[in-house]
Amino acid sequence: MNQNLTLSERAEQTKLTRAEEKIVETVMNNIGETAFLNGAQLANFCGVSASLVTRLIQKLGYDGFHEFKREMQEIYRQEVTPYDIYQKHLSAEGKESSSIHQFIVENMENLAALEQNNSEETIDAVARAIHSADKVYILAMFASESPARTLAHYLDRLNISHQCVFDLGLSKKIEYLQPKPEDLVIAFSFQGILKEIYEACSYIVRNGTPVVSITDTKANRLTRLSEYSLTVSVSGSVFDYSHVATTAMVTLLANRLADTFDPEYLSSRFDQIRSEWKQKGLFLNTPK
C-alpha cells in the first residue's frame, strides 16, 4: 500500500469489516482524544479488544502502532484550531500553567523543531531555486501574511523580482497572473491547510510551476504537491498561531539566499540601499 496515503484514504481502499469501520469512525470523530492514547487505551475507548486494533492497523498497511499513532497526531494537528488550544489557556488550569516563561519555552521548542525537521540541504536548495527563478510569487492568507511579508522584504533587499498574492480570492488571482515554469511559488499555510492555498497550488503545479510550501507538517496534501517543503511549528499558548518559528525560518532562508550571491554584488546592493535611505532622509541618524 502507498505509504503516503492518509488514514481516510487507506480506509477507503481497504475492505474493512463493520467492526473495523466502526473503529476508524470512532478514531476520526474523536481525534482530539484518541490521538494521544496508547494501544490498550485506544482499544478500551473504542470498546474492542487490543488484538482487533492491532489487526486493523496491519490491514491498513501501517508498520505498527507507533506509525499509526503518528498519523493520528498529524490529523489532530491539521484539525485543531488555535482557538481550541487557547481555550485551555482560558480555563483555570490553563491560566496556572500559562505565563511569559511558558510562552518562551513553547517557542523555544518550536525553534528546536525547526532544526530537527529541516535539513541544511533542503533550505539551501530552496535558496538556489529562489535565486534562479524569473519571478517569485508568495502565497499567504490571514496570520501567515506576516511572515510572508517578511520574506517579501528580504527579496526586495536582494532585488529579486517577486509578487505577494494574499487574502480571499487568492486562487482566482493566481489563475489571472499565470506563473510560468521558470517562476517559483512559495506558499504559506498551517494546520488545517486553507482550501484556497491548496487549490491555487494545485493549479500552479498542473501548469508546470514549482511550489515550495512552508507548513507545519510533512504529512499533508500541500506538501505532497510541493517540490520542496519547509516545516515549522506554529503551536503555543496564544490566541492565534505563533509565528515565531516561521519568522525564524524566513530569516534563515534569507541568509542562505544572500550567500548564493557574489559578495561584490551584495556590497554594491547594500551601498545602493544606504544611498536611498540617505536621499529620502528616513532616519534621525544618517546611515554611514
Give the tens place of pLDDT for each residue, 168-204: 999 999 999 999 999 999 999 987 789 999 999 999 9
Hey, what's the cell of 219? Answer: 504529512
Give the tens place of pLDDT for each residue, 115-162: 888 999 999 999 999 999 999 999 999 989 999 999 999 999 999 999
| Beta-strand runs (E) in 42-194 | 136-140, 162-166, 184-188
What is the distance between the alpha carbons of residues 240 and 33, in angstroms, rounded to a whole number?
22
Residue 233 to residues 208, 242, 245, 247, Cα–Cα distance (Å): 29, 8, 7, 11
Which pTM was predicted?
0.73
Provide the edge-to-edge strand list for the sheet that holds 184-188.
162-166, 136-140, 184-188, 211-215, 228-231
> Is 134 in contact with 185 (CB distance < 8 Å)?
no
